[in-house]
Amino acid sequence: MEPGLVEVIHGRHNPMIDGAHGMHVWGWEVPVYLFIGGMVAGATILLALYELRFKEKPTSLSAQLVPWLLLPLMGIGLLALLVDLEYPTHVYRFFLAFQPASPMSWGGWLVLTVNAVWVAMGLGSLSATTQDWVLARSGPVAGVLRWAFDMGEAYRKPILWTALAFGVGVGIYTGLLLGTLVARPPWNTAILPPLFLTSGISSGAALMLLMPLSDKEQHTFVRWDAAAMAIELVLIVVMVISFVTGSAADQAAGHVFLGGHHMPAFWAIVVGGGLIVPLLLAGFEIAKNRPLTRLSPVLVLIGGFTLRWIIVVAGQEASFASLAMAH
């Protein structure tokens, strides 16, 4: 037997902290939220970029309605977060404070205010025909709605730039939230915020590519999706390299992706199924210039969700304390 530590008898057995697989304070609710938050952020960024780039509204009804779809989607994500809170009736405390050092505090305010941005964005997204259809059925509130539609149109450009900023903010903060926690080596990397952002953009594109889009929208989002996935792939490779060549804490984090029990799911579902196969399919679609299948967006969404799941679980398993015991 090698000299060294032979036995540790730990007298602490706090529930959720000292389980058989390490700490487990964040269950399914957090990866579900991180996935949905990333996806809606990505869709916001892509929609804003589309209109800023082409200086025209999306022509398909589904793309016009996406800002309105993001409201209930984010609602589901926030409901998951509320379920995760141990003291849910104190949720209002998030909005009685602003803690500049806490990404979660920034996030609380961002996910609250982004709803107003989506409403403003959604008002201007609707085509004149859709606006008229809505106005004809809105009875006594038609006047207010007409004014709201006009405002949405009049301030379209600042609204789109604001939406872009909020999309990036929401997309980045979730990665920053985990990335700033030194206690959990697999989270503690500056790659995590841009990784979650790019993964959110590809998930947002996948969400929209599952809907009936115009040819131009389909054509554009497939390309932007491919770009996001290519960047994400590079970020993953850089992250794994920096982990395995880093300090003891980094190497423990690297073990999650190379050698640990999450390795098969990470490389098969996140990298293979969620990035490489969709990238190849996107390449084929771009080369042949025609939409092929809905398989690709489904794979991207599964990969995006699995990425959050593995990161959230693995980070909690690999605490600084267990690392010290291993060395």
Partner 1 sequence: MTTDKRYVMTMDTTKCVGCQACVFACKSENNVPEGYARDWIVETVQGQFPNLSAEIRSERCHHCSNPPCVYACPTGASFIGEGGIVMVNHDKCTGCKACIAACPYDARFIHPDGYADKCTFCAHRVARGDQPACVTVCPTESLTFGDLFEPDAKVSKLLASRKFKVMHEDAGTEPNLFFLI
Interaction site with partner 1 (CB under 8 A): 1-18, 23, 25-26, 84-88, 90-91, 93-94, 96-97, 99, 101-105, 107-108, 177, 180-184, 247-249, 315-316, 319-321, 324
How far apart are CB 278 and partner 1 at their closest, in Å? 31
Contact 84, 29 (CB under 8 A): yes
Q: Considering the complex, what minimum distance in angstroms separates the CB of residue 13 from partner 1? A: 7
The amino acid occupying position 75 is: G
State the minimum distance, in angstroms, from the CB of residue 88 to partner 1.
8
In one-letter notation, the amino acid at residue 38 is: G
Taking the complex as a whole, the smallest distance from the CB of residue 143 to partner 1 amounts, in Å, to 40
For partner 1, the closer of residues 41 and 176 by Cβ is: 176
Q: Which is nearer to partner 1, 184 or 262 (CB)?
A: 184
Closer by beta carbon to partner 1, 48 or else 81? 81
**Which residues in 72-107 are b (16+ Cβ under 10 Å) and which e?**
ebbeebbebbeebeeeeeeeeebeeeeeeeebebbb
Q: Cβ of residue 324: shortest distance to partner 1, in angstroms?
A: 6
Residues 303/275, Cβ–Cβ less than 8 Å: yes
Q: How far is the CB of 28 from partner 1 (least distance, A)?
A: 14
Of 53 and 93, the one with the shorter C-beta distance to partner 1 is 93
Could you tell me which residues come within 8 angstroms of residue 316 by beta carbon, excluding any fewer than 6 positions away?
A: 22, 23, 24, 25, 26, 184
Which positions ≥6 away from 252 have C-beta within 8 Å? 185, 186, 318, 323, 326
Closest CB to partner 1 among residues 4, 264:
4
Residue in the structure block whose two tokens are 């915020």: 193
* 251 token code pair: 């190497």
- In angstroms, rounded to a whole number, what is the distance separating the alpha carbons of residues 74 and 153? 24
Q: Which residues are CB-contacts of 322 (< 8 A; sequence separation ≥ 6)?
A: 22
Residue 1 vs 136, nearer CB to partner 1 = 1
